[in-house]
Protein backbone atom coordinates (compact mmCIF):
# COMPACT_ATOMS: atom_id res chain seq x y z
CA UNK A 1 0.00 0.00 0.00
CA UNK A 2 1.33 3.42 -0.87
CA UNK A 3 1.86 5.87 1.95
CA UNK A 4 -0.69 8.68 2.12
CA UNK A 5 -3.22 10.26 4.45
CA UNK A 6 -5.05 7.12 5.44
CA UNK A 7 -4.02 5.73 2.04
CA UNK A 8 -4.44 7.75 -1.12
CA UNK A 9 -6.17 4.79 -2.78
CA UNK A 10 -8.71 4.62 0.05
CA UNK A 11 -9.48 8.32 -0.10
CA UNK A 12 -9.79 8.18 -3.88
CA UNK A 13 -12.17 5.22 -3.62
CA UNK A 14 -14.29 6.81 -0.93
CA UNK A 15 -14.30 10.14 -2.76
CA UNK A 16 -15.75 8.33 -5.73
CA UNK A 17 -18.86 7.53 -3.70
CA UNK A 18 -19.04 10.39 -1.15
CA UNK A 19 -19.42 14.14 -1.74
CA UNK A 20 -19.68 16.67 0.83
CA UNK A 21 -28.66 26.46 5.66
CA UNK A 22 -28.26 29.58 6.88
CA UNK A 23 -25.40 30.59 9.16
CA UNK A 24 -25.91 29.91 12.86
CA UNK A 25 -24.14 31.32 15.88
CA UNK A 26 -20.73 29.77 16.39
CA UNK A 27 -19.77 28.38 19.80
CA UNK A 28 -16.36 29.13 21.28
CA UNK A 29 -13.59 27.07 19.66
CA UNK A 30 -11.57 24.43 21.52
CA UNK A 31 -7.79 24.06 21.69
CA UNK A 32 -6.00 21.27 19.80
CA UNK A 33 -3.67 18.93 21.69
CA UNK A 34 -1.02 16.90 19.83
CA UNK A 35 -1.27 13.13 20.36
CA UNK A 36 2.33 12.41 19.38
CA UNK A 37 4.20 10.43 16.72
CA UNK A 38 6.00 7.11 16.60
CA UNK A 39 9.69 7.26 17.60
CA UNK A 40 11.60 8.72 14.65
CA UNK A 41 8.41 9.42 12.72
CA UNK A 42 7.31 12.88 11.63
CA UNK A 43 3.60 12.62 10.74
CA UNK A 44 0.34 11.17 12.05
CA UNK A 45 -3.45 11.43 11.88
CA UNK A 46 -6.23 10.25 14.19
CA UNK A 47 -9.36 8.77 12.60
CA UNK A 48 -11.63 7.59 15.42
CA UNK A 49 -12.00 7.41 19.20
CA UNK A 50 -13.92 5.07 21.51
CA UNK A 51 -15.69 5.77 24.77
CA UNK A 52 -12.66 4.31 26.57
CA UNK A 53 -10.55 7.02 24.87
CA UNK A 54 -8.78 4.57 22.58
CA UNK A 55 -7.78 6.67 19.56
CA UNK A 56 -6.81 5.01 16.27
CA UNK A 57 -5.27 6.25 13.05
CA UNK A 58 -1.84 6.16 11.42
CA UNK A 59 1.67 7.44 11.98
CA UNK A 60 4.91 7.31 10.04
CA UNK A 61 7.82 5.20 11.24
CA UNK A 62 11.48 6.16 11.40
CA UNK A 63 11.87 4.34 8.08
CA UNK A 64 9.21 6.56 6.48
CA UNK A 65 6.47 3.92 6.26
CA UNK A 66 2.88 4.45 7.34
CA UNK A 67 1.62 2.17 10.12
CA UNK A 68 -1.73 1.82 11.84
CA UNK A 69 -1.46 3.01 15.43
CA UNK A 70 -3.49 3.45 18.58
CA UNK A 71 -3.13 6.03 21.33
CA UNK A 72 -4.14 5.10 24.87
CA UNK A 73 -3.44 7.05 28.07
CA UNK A 74 -0.91 9.18 26.20
CA UNK A 75 1.01 6.19 24.80
CA UNK A 76 1.23 5.39 21.08
CA UNK A 77 1.28 1.74 19.92
CA UNK A 78 2.36 0.52 16.48
CA UNK A 79 -0.30 -1.98 15.28
CA UNK A 80 1.88 -3.31 12.47
CA UNK A 81 0.99 -4.64 9.03
CA UNK A 82 0.16 -7.85 7.24
CA UNK A 83 3.22 -10.06 6.62
CA UNK A 84 5.22 -8.96 3.58
CA UNK A 85 4.26 -5.30 3.60
CA UNK A 86 5.29 -2.07 5.29
CA UNK A 87 2.15 0.11 5.27
CA UNK A 88 -1.20 0.07 7.03
CA UNK A 89 -3.71 2.39 8.70
CA UNK A 90 -6.60 2.17 11.16
CA UNK A 91 -9.96 3.75 10.35
CA UNK A 92 -12.37 2.83 13.14
CA UNK A 93 -12.59 1.37 16.64
CA UNK A 94 -15.54 -0.24 18.44
CA UNK A 95 -16.51 0.23 22.08
CA UNK A 96 -15.15 -3.30 22.68
CA UNK A 97 -11.72 -2.33 21.32
CA UNK A 98 -11.95 -3.92 17.88
CA UNK A 99 -9.95 -1.90 15.34
CA UNK A 100 -10.31 -2.01 11.54
CA UNK A 101 -8.55 -0.49 8.58
CA UNK A 102 -6.37 -1.74 5.75
CA UNK A 103 -2.89 -3.08 5.10
CA UNK A 104 -0.76 -3.65 2.07
CA UNK A 105 -0.07 -7.27 1.21
CA UNK A 106 3.31 -7.00 -0.47
CA UNK A 107 1.73 -8.27 -3.71
CA UNK A 108 1.21 -6.34 -6.91
CA UNK A 109 -2.42 -5.81 -7.95
CA UNK A 110 -3.17 -7.55 -11.27
CA UNK A 111 -4.15 -5.17 -14.09
CA UNK A 112 -3.14 -2.19 -11.93
CA UNK A 113 0.54 -1.58 -12.74
CA UNK A 114 2.63 0.01 -10.03
CA UNK A 115 0.10 -0.45 -7.25
CA UNK A 116 0.06 -3.05 -4.51
CA UNK A 117 -2.96 -5.06 -3.48
CA UNK A 118 -4.34 -3.98 -0.11
CA UNK A 119 -6.78 -5.85 2.11
CA UNK A 120 -9.25 -4.87 4.79
CA UNK A 121 -7.95 -5.92 8.20
CA UNK A 122 -9.17 -6.35 11.77
CA UNK A 123 -7.03 -5.99 14.88
CA UNK A 124 -8.33 -8.03 17.81
CA UNK A 125 -6.33 -8.16 21.06
CA UNK A 126 -3.32 -6.80 19.20
CA UNK A 127 -3.39 -9.47 16.47
CA UNK A 128 -4.01 -8.54 12.83
CA UNK A 129 -6.49 -10.54 10.71
CA UNK A 130 -6.75 -10.37 6.92
CA UNK A 131 -10.45 -10.03 5.98
CA UNK A 132 -9.80 -10.86 2.33
CA UNK A 133 -11.41 -9.45 -0.80
CA UNK A 134 -14.63 -9.47 -2.75
CA UNK A 135 -14.98 -12.08 -5.53
CA UNK A 136 -12.27 -11.56 -8.15
CA UNK A 137 -10.92 -8.45 -6.40
CA UNK A 138 -7.53 -7.53 -4.97
CA UNK A 139 -8.41 -4.32 -3.11
CA UNK A 140 -10.57 -3.88 -0.01
CA UNK A 141 -10.65 -1.36 2.87
CA UNK A 142 -12.49 -1.59 6.18
CA UNK A 143 -14.11 1.65 7.31
CA UNK A 144 -16.34 0.75 10.27
CA UNK A 145 -16.91 -1.87 12.98
CA UNK A 146 -19.53 -2.43 15.68
CA UNK A 147 -19.35 -4.16 19.05
CA UNK A 148 -20.57 -7.46 17.57
CA UNK A 149 -17.57 -7.58 15.24
CA UNK A 150 -19.47 -6.76 12.05
CA UNK A 151 -17.10 -4.89 9.73
CA UNK A 152 -18.05 -2.67 6.79
CA UNK A 153 -16.03 -1.23 3.95
CA UNK A 154 -15.67 -1.38 0.20
CA UNK A 155 -13.52 -2.88 -2.52
CA UNK A 156 -13.31 -3.90 -6.14
CA UNK A 157 -15.23 -6.99 -7.24
CA UNK A 158 -13.31 -7.67 -10.45
CA UNK A 159 -10.48 -6.16 -12.45
CA UNK A 160 -9.25 -6.87 -15.97
CA UNK A 161 -7.57 -5.20 -18.92
CA UNK A 162 -10.95 -4.59 -20.57
CA UNK A 163 -13.00 -3.55 -17.54
CA UNK A 164 -11.57 -1.39 -14.74
CA UNK A 165 -13.61 -3.02 -11.99
CA UNK A 166 -16.66 -2.27 -9.91
CA UNK A 167 -16.52 -0.80 -6.40
CA UNK A 168 -18.92 -2.43 -3.95
CA UNK A 169 -19.68 -1.92 -0.29
CA UNK A 170 -19.63 -4.94 1.97
CA UNK A 171 -20.41 -6.29 5.42
CA UNK A 172 -17.96 -8.83 6.84
CA UNK A 173 -18.93 -11.13 9.69
CA UNK A 174 -17.34 -14.36 10.89
CA UNK A 175 -15.32 -14.80 7.72
CA UNK A 176 -18.12 -14.04 5.24
CA UNK A 177 -18.14 -10.88 3.11
CA UNK A 178 -21.60 -9.84 1.82
CA UNK A 179 -21.96 -7.27 -0.98
CA UNK A 180 -24.21 -4.23 -0.45
CA UNK A 181 -25.90 -3.13 -3.66
CA UNK A 182 -27.07 0.29 -4.87
CA UNK A 183 -30.78 1.22 -4.45
CA UNK A 184 -31.59 0.86 -8.16
CA UNK A 185 -32.83 -2.02 -10.26
CA UNK A 186 -30.04 -4.04 -11.85
CA UNK A 187 -29.96 -3.61 -15.64
CA UNK A 188 -27.49 -4.32 -18.41
CA UNK A 189 -27.27 -0.65 -19.37
CA UNK A 190 -26.82 0.69 -15.79
CA UNK A 191 -23.45 0.87 -14.03
CA UNK A 192 -23.61 0.96 -10.23
CA UNK A 193 -21.14 1.47 -7.39
CA UNK A 194 -21.38 1.50 -3.60
CA UNK A 195 -19.25 1.99 -0.50
CA UNK A 196 -20.18 1.31 3.14
CA UNK A 197 -18.62 3.67 5.66
CA UNK A 198 -20.16 3.02 9.09
CA UNK A 199 -22.28 0.53 11.05
CA UNK A 200 -24.08 0.85 14.39
CA UNK A 201 -24.78 -1.86 16.96
CA UNK A 202 -28.20 -2.57 15.40
CA UNK A 203 -26.39 -3.57 12.20
CA UNK A 204 -27.63 -0.55 10.23
CA UNK A 205 -25.04 0.44 7.62
CA UNK A 206 -24.57 3.81 5.90
CA UNK A 207 -22.49 4.94 2.96
CA UNK A 208 -23.08 6.02 -0.60
CA UNK A 209 -24.05 4.55 -3.94
CA UNK A 210 -23.79 5.81 -7.48
CA UNK A 211 -25.43 4.79 -10.73
CA UNK A 212 -25.38 5.89 -14.36
CA UNK A 213 -26.53 4.70 -17.74
CA UNK A 214 -23.75 3.19 -19.83
CA UNK A 215 -22.26 5.91 -22.06
CA UNK A 216 -23.72 8.75 -20.01
CA UNK A 217 -21.51 11.50 -18.59
CA UNK A 218 -23.98 12.16 -15.76
CA UNK A 219 -24.04 9.98 -12.65
CA UNK A 220 -26.31 10.01 -9.61
CA UNK A 221 -24.65 9.76 -6.19
CA UNK A 222 -26.80 9.42 -3.06
CA UNK A 223 -26.37 8.59 0.60
CA UNK A 224 -27.72 5.14 1.42
CA UNK A 225 -28.89 3.29 4.52
CA UNK A 226 -28.67 -0.50 4.32
CA UNK A 227 -31.06 -2.18 6.76
CA UNK A 228 -31.03 -5.97 6.84
CA UNK A 229 -29.00 -5.77 3.66
CA UNK A 230 -31.64 -3.79 1.75
CA UNK A 231 -30.66 -0.33 0.42
CA UNK A 232 -32.71 2.78 1.25
CA UNK A 233 -32.02 5.94 -0.75
CA UNK A 234 -31.58 8.84 1.70
CA UNK A 235 -32.07 11.53 -0.94
CA UNK A 236 -30.57 15.01 -1.09
CA UNK A 237 -31.15 18.57 0.13
CA UNK A 238 -33.65 20.60 -1.93
CA UNK A 239 -31.85 21.83 -5.04
CA UNK A 240 -28.88 19.52 -4.52
CA UNK A 241 -27.64 16.92 -7.00
CA UNK A 242 -25.80 14.50 -4.76
CA UNK A 243 -25.31 13.36 -1.19
CA UNK A 244 -23.13 11.06 0.88
CA UNK A 245 -23.80 9.41 4.25
CA UNK A 246 -20.71 8.86 6.40
CA UNK A 247 -21.70 8.01 9.99
CA UNK A 248 -24.64 6.65 12.00
CA UNK A 249 -25.21 6.60 15.76
CA UNK A 250 -27.13 4.24 18.05
CA UNK A 251 -30.35 6.26 17.63
CA UNK A 252 -30.15 6.01 13.86
CA UNK A 253 -29.14 9.63 13.25
CA UNK A 254 -27.01 9.85 10.10
CA UNK A 255 -24.59 12.58 9.06
CA UNK A 256 -22.77 13.36 5.85
CA UNK A 257 -23.10 16.00 3.16
CA UNK A 258 -25.26 17.06 0.25
CA UNK A 259 -24.81 19.55 -2.56
CA UNK A 260 -24.03 20.10 -6.20
CA UNK A 261 -21.02 20.23 -8.48
CA UNK A 262 -22.47 22.46 -11.19
CA UNK A 263 -22.81 25.28 -12.10
CA UNK A 264 -20.68 25.91 -8.99
CA UNK A 265 -19.53 23.75 -6.10
CA UNK A 266 -21.89 24.03 -3.14
CA UNK A 267 -21.73 21.28 -0.50
CA UNK A 268 -23.12 21.39 3.05
CA UNK A 269 -22.93 19.16 6.11
CA UNK A 270 -26.27 17.45 6.77
CA UNK A 271 -28.07 15.25 9.25
CA UNK A 272 -30.73 12.67 8.38
CA UNK A 273 -33.31 11.83 11.05
CA UNK A 274 -35.63 9.20 9.70
CA UNK A 275 -36.29 10.24 6.11
CA UNK A 276 -35.77 13.95 6.81
CA UNK A 277 -32.53 15.62 5.71
CA UNK A 278 -31.45 18.90 7.32
CA UNK A 279 -28.48 21.19 6.63
CA UNK A 280 -26.26 21.84 9.64
CA UNK A 281 -25.08 25.25 10.79
CA UNK A 282 -22.43 27.28 8.96
CA UNK A 283 -19.43 29.37 9.96
CA UNK A 284 -19.18 32.94 8.56
CA UNK A 285 -18.11 32.94 4.91
CA UNK A 286 -18.49 29.19 4.58
CA UNK A 287 -18.27 27.67 1.11
CA UNK A 288 -18.05 23.97 1.95
CA UNK A 289 -18.74 21.68 4.90
CA UNK A 290 -19.08 17.96 5.53
CA UNK A 291 -19.90 15.95 8.66
CA UNK A 292 -18.05 12.64 9.00
CA UNK A 293 -18.88 11.35 12.50
CA UNK A 294 -21.76 11.53 14.98
CA UNK A 295 -21.96 10.28 18.57
CA UNK A 296 -24.90 9.00 20.63
CA UNK A 297 -25.66 12.54 21.84
CA UNK A 298 -26.06 13.76 18.27
CA UNK A 299 -22.82 15.77 18.29
CA UNK A 300 -21.38 15.73 14.76
CA UNK A 301 -17.87 16.63 13.59
CA UNK A 302 -16.19 17.20 10.26
CA UNK A 303 -14.74 20.06 8.27
CA UNK A 304 -15.75 23.60 7.22
CA UNK A 305 -14.03 25.73 4.59
CA UNK A 306 -14.13 29.39 3.60
CA UNK A 307 -12.43 30.96 0.61
CA UNK A 308 -9.17 31.23 2.54
CA UNK A 309 -9.19 28.67 5.35
CA UNK A 310 -10.20 25.12 6.28
CA UNK A 311 -10.99 24.02 9.84
CA UNK A 312 -12.38 21.14 11.81
CA UNK A 313 -15.95 21.80 12.95
CA UNK A 314 -18.24 20.44 15.66
CA UNK A 315 -22.04 20.68 15.47
CA UNK A 316 -24.21 20.45 18.58
CA UNK A 317 -27.72 20.81 17.30
CA UNK A 318 -27.42 23.68 14.82
CA UNK A 319 -24.66 25.42 16.74
CA UNK A 320 -21.23 25.08 15.15
CA UNK A 321 -17.81 25.30 16.83
CA UNK A 322 -14.50 25.78 15.04
CA UNK A 323 -11.82 23.23 15.98
CA UNK A 324 -8.60 25.13 15.26
CA UNK A 325 -5.22 23.66 14.30
CA UNK A 326 -2.19 23.47 16.56
CA UNK A 327 -0.30 26.71 17.06
CA UNK A 328 1.69 27.48 13.93
CA UNK A 329 -0.38 25.14 11.75
CA UNK A 330 -2.81 26.37 9.10
CA UNK A 331 -5.61 23.80 8.66
CA UNK A 332 -7.42 21.17 10.70
CA UNK A 333 -9.91 18.37 10.15
CA UNK A 334 -12.06 16.49 12.68
CA UNK A 335 -12.66 12.81 11.88
CA UNK A 336 -14.02 11.18 15.04
CA UNK A 337 -15.96 11.91 18.23
CA UNK A 338 -16.87 9.75 21.23
CA UNK A 339 -19.88 9.95 23.51
CA UNK A 340 -18.32 12.52 25.86
CA UNK A 341 -17.56 14.81 22.91
CA UNK A 342 -13.81 14.09 22.75
CA UNK A 343 -12.94 14.90 19.13
CA UNK A 344 -9.95 13.60 17.16
CA UNK A 345 -8.47 14.35 13.75
CA UNK A 346 -5.41 16.12 12.41
CA UNK A 347 -3.74 19.50 12.20
CA UNK A 348 -1.66 20.44 9.16
CA UNK A 349 1.22 22.88 8.98
CA UNK A 350 2.48 25.09 6.14
CA UNK A 351 4.82 22.24 5.16
CA UNK A 352 1.77 19.94 4.67
CA UNK A 353 2.82 17.67 7.56
CA UNK A 354 -0.07 15.97 9.34
CA UNK A 355 -0.19 15.83 13.15
CA UNK A 356 -2.73 13.74 15.05
CA UNK A 357 -4.69 15.86 17.53
CA UNK A 358 -7.59 15.80 19.93
CA UNK A 359 -9.99 18.51 21.02
CA UNK A 360 -11.49 18.04 24.47
CA UNK A 361 -14.50 19.89 25.91
CA UNK A 362 -12.33 20.57 28.96
CA UNK A 363 -9.29 21.80 26.98
pLDDT digits (tens, 9 = 90+) for 50-67: 999 999 999 999 999 999
Please state the φ and ψ torsions of residue 29, each to the nearest 5 degrees. -80, 160
Q: Look at residue 8 in the predicted model and tell me its pLDDT.
A: 36
Does residue 286 contact residue 279 with C-beta atoms inside 8 Å?
A: no
Q: Look at residue 311 in the predicted model and tell me its pLDDT.
A: 96
Q: Look at residue 74 in the predicted model and tell me its pLDDT.
A: 92
> pLDDT tens track of the chain, all 363 residues?
333 334 433 433 343 333 333 344 455 568 999 999 999 999 999 999 999 999 999 999 999 999 999 999 999 999 999 999 999 999 999 999 999 999 999 876 665 555 678 999 999 999 999 999 998 888 899 999 999 999 999 998 864 444 455 889 999 999 999 999 999 877 767 788 899 999 999 999 999 999 887 777 667 899 999 999 999 999 999 999 999 999 999 999 999 999 987 667 789 999 999 889 999 999 999 989 999 999 999 999 999 999 899 999 999 998 999 999 999 999 999 999 999 999 999 999 999 999 999 999 864
Q: Look at residue 198 in the predicted model and tell me its pLDDT.
A: 98
Q: Look at residue 20 in the predicted model and tell me its pLDDT.
A: 33
Does residue 225 contact residue 205 with C-beta atoms inside 8 Å?
A: yes
| Among 342, 346, 313, residue whose Cα is nearest residue 330 | 346
- Cα gap 55→93, rounded to integer Å: 8
Domains identified in the chain and CATH numbers:
8-20+22-359 (2.130.10.120)
Q: Look at residue 253 in the predicted model and tell me its pLDDT.
A: 97
The pTM for the full model equals 0.89
Q: Look at residue 268 in the predicted model and tell me its pLDDT.
A: 95
- Cα gap 148→142, rounded to integer Å: 15
**pLDDT tens-digit readout, 338-351:** 999 999 999 999 99
The tally of CA atoms less than 13 A away on the side-chain side of residue 327 is: 2
Amino acid sequence: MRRAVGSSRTLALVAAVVIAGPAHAAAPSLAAVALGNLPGGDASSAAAVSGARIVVGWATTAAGNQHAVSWRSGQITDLGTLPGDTDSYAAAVSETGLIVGASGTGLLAPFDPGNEASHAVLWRDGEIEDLGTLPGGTFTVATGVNDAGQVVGCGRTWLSDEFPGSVRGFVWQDGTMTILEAPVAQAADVVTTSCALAINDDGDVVGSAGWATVGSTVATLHGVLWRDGMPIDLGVLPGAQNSGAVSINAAGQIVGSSGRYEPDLSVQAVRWTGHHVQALGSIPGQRFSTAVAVNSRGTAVGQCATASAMFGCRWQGMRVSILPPLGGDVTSTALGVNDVDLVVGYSQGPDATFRAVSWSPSS
